[in-house]
Chain A
Amino acid sequence: AAGVIQSPRHLIKEKRETATLKCYPIPRHDTVYWYQQGPGQDPQFLISFYEKMQSDKGSIPDRFSAQQFSDYHSELNMSSLELGDSALYFCASSRIRDRTNNEQFFGPGTRLTVL
């Protein structure tokens, strides 16, 4: 079965640079979630989108923005990168349009390293 795809899998950037992470949900899924997992930490919710509209917002820095496109893929844009942004970024997707269950499926993650 198709899974959530994230790209790139690894990304190395320098301080003050920008980064764009991409997430491709499972086909027919309409909701995308982004999570950040710092070293030795549990994943923390950043933001989610349903039908291309932001549906919930967590601890996402103002330097970060995200959107969901018409094909339901999502991009997380990160500017003015800081050393503390180094983390594993997970995307998850679910389908809630027809009130099926909200089970979320996680992608493999993008490991961002800021030097």
Chain B
Amino acid sequence: AQSVTQLDSQVPVFEEAPVELRCNYSSSVSVYLFWYVQYPNQGLQLLLKYLSGSTLVKGINGFEAEFNKSQTSFHLRKPSVHISDTAEYFCAVTLPLGGFKTIFGAGTRLFVKA
């Protein structure tokens, strides 16, 4: 079975500072990895995804993530955050084939302070 652990439930950071949101996963087989952002009272928006290929993945809004197979991690980073980045961020995995469900982490609340 697969599982996702987001190591921080809340991350406060000052505007224009760099940020890293940590995600570790557990799986005995290869997985697809995703980061979603959810603004208050809104749906899930895909930030970026790792399906295969280059381990450094660039997404929208200046975010990027690096897939590290040996450490089973997929940490999300942004070099300089804005107030508008304040939101809930979910790391998620699914299996590449077979119609398996998406498993989400518990979420990390990013709070950007002025």
A residues neighboring B (CB under 8 Å): 31, 33, 35, 42-45, 48, 50, 55-56, 58, 88, 90, 92, 94, 96, 99, 101-104, 106-109, 111
Least Cβ distance of A32 to chain B in Å? Answer: 10
Interface size of B as a range: 20 to 34
Chief secondary structure at chain B's binding surface: loop
List the 10 closest A-B pairs by CB distance, nearest first: A45-B101, A42-B104, A109-B43, A108-B43, A96-B99, A31-B99, A106-B44, A43-B104, A42-B107, A50-B99
Is B43 a contact partner of A90 (Cβ separation < 8 A)?
yes
Q: Identify B105's interface contact among A31, A42, A96, A102, CB under 8 A.
A: A42
> Which residues of chain A come closer than 8 Å to B98, judged between CB atoms?
96, 102
A-B contact count, CB below 8 Å?
61
How far, in angstroms, from A55 to B101 measured CA to CA in the complex? 10
Q: Identify B99's interface contact among A43, A55, A106, CB under 8 A.
A: A55
Is A45 a contact partner of B102 (Cβ separation < 8 A)?
yes
Q: Identify A102's interface contact among B41, B90, B96, B106, CB under 8 A.
A: B96
Interface string of B33-57 (1 = CB under 8 A from A): 0001000010110100101000000
Q: A102-B32, A102-B94 are in contact. Are A107 and B104 (CB under 8 A)?
A: no
Is B106 a contact partner of A48 (Cβ separation < 8 A)?
no
Is A56 a contact partner of B49 (Cβ separation < 8 A)?
no
Is B101 a contact partner of A48 (Cβ separation < 8 A)?
yes
